[in-house]
Amino acid sequence: MTRTYLDHAASTPMRPVAIEAVAVELSRTGNPSSLHGSGRAARKRVEECREQIAAAVGAHPTEVVFTSGGTESDNLAVLGGFAAARRRGRDVVVCAATEHHAVLDTVHRLGTAGATVEVVGVDAEGRPDPEALAALVDRYADRLGVVSVMAANNETGVCTDLDAVVAAGRRSPALLHSDAVQLVGQRPFSFADSGLDAVSLTGHKLGGPVGTGALLLRRDAAVDPIQFGGGQERELRSGTLDVAGIAGFAAAVDAAVAALATEQPRRAALRDRLVAGVLAAVPGSRLNGGGERLPGIANLEFAGADADAVLMLLDRAGIDCSTGSACSAGLAQPSHVLLAMGRDPRQARSALRFSLGHPSTEADVAALLAALPEAVERGRLASAA
């Protein structure tokens, strides 16, 4: 059976240019921390990749700190930024209610260790409330250590007004961080222009290998390491660098950003056709999230249906999608993102995420629209049983 893949927000296929870059480096040997010729060659390749990524995302090469992916980058920004802030008497951390668990759970862990935690709510469309954020900044003033608000939500595709986040956050000495794992490669982004102190990226969301990523970190930002060893990556992230993974990551970032002018409108048009087709073909369906959205994500609710049942019925029909974040897959609980948007648990359990990527086509959308009405009907029967 030929499968229709509509879960690119979880992981998208590697781009040919990234596969080629990985393959080339896998044929070579050399630890980039070694001083001999092979080590120096590996280091040279790493630094070329650092420059390539920096140029694509509007950063200085020294601001690119390589990590194993988005989760590690988020943890380094939040935990490391808070550790540095706490040494200066700043013990408050703020995030949005719809953050990825890599941020949300990390923030709550800090709360159990004595930090003061504040979570900013979102409106019914999933947009963080800038006035509530500004009020928290003013309330805590010099006690604020870290503010982390994601650039675009991984479940709904809703984009945050980062200018408003930065405008509020700059009234304090806090480290301003954003998880841009979903945004980079789908919409234009410049770290230099953003006003942020730290931004998380990962390779496998834009056509690179799993297990590679970066934290863009302003050169004068105060962040403590959270793991220790050889002191690689500005003494913030110790560990032998994965040259092959970094090469694939850099190639994917470069390719994704270079294709934005044509790929962003193409993917948005596919998404709009998917949404319009679903709303027309499935009575009782509703789009979750509004305002500015990523071109590749559509979160749709099917009133009265069991989303897990619909997902498995679509899976049997050869269609891959998701009930939300892949990192939370298999957990019997409604989406915290949809609950924060005001949906009740039953509504949250009736939603599916369809996400498009660089290989997505009109045929993928057509396959979904052909299979979905029956799957939802049967899912509603399962829910009523």
Opening angle at CA 123, ends 157 and 99, nearest 5: 50
Enter the pTM of the model: 0.96
Active site residues: 327
Torsions phi, psi for 375 (to 5 deg): -60, -40
Q: Where are the domains of the chain?
A: 4-12+260-384, 16-258
The three-state secondary structure class of 379 is helix
Name which CATH class applies to 4-12+260-384. alpha beta
**Residue with the two structure tokens 């994601």:** 150
Would you give per-residue pLDDT tens digits along the chain (385 residues)? Answer: 689 999 999 999 999 999 999 999 999 999 999 999 999 999 999 999 999 999 999 999 999 999 999 999 999 999 999 999 999 999 999 999 999 999 999 999 999 999 999 999 999 999 999 999 999 999 998 999 999 999 999 999 999 999 999 999 999 999 999 999 999 999 999 999 999 999 999 999 999 999 999 999 999 999 999 999 999 999 999 999 999 999 999 999 999 999 999 999 999 999 999 999 999 999 999 999 999 999 999 999 999 999 999 999 999 999 999 997 555 545 568 999 999 999 999 999 999 999 999 999 999 999 999 999 999 999 998 777 6
User: Across the beta sheet with 297-302, what order do the strands follow?
Assistant: 285-288, 297-302, 351-355
pLDDT for position 333: 81
pLDDT for position 385: 66
Tell me: domain 16-258, CATH 3.40.50.720, correct?
no
pLDDT for position 126: 97
pLDDT for position 325: 53
Query: What DSSP assignment string belongs to 119-173?
Result: EE-B-TTS-B-HHHHHHHHHHHGGGEEEEE--SB-TTT-BBP-HHHHHHHHTTSS
Chain-centre distance for alpha carbon 68: 14
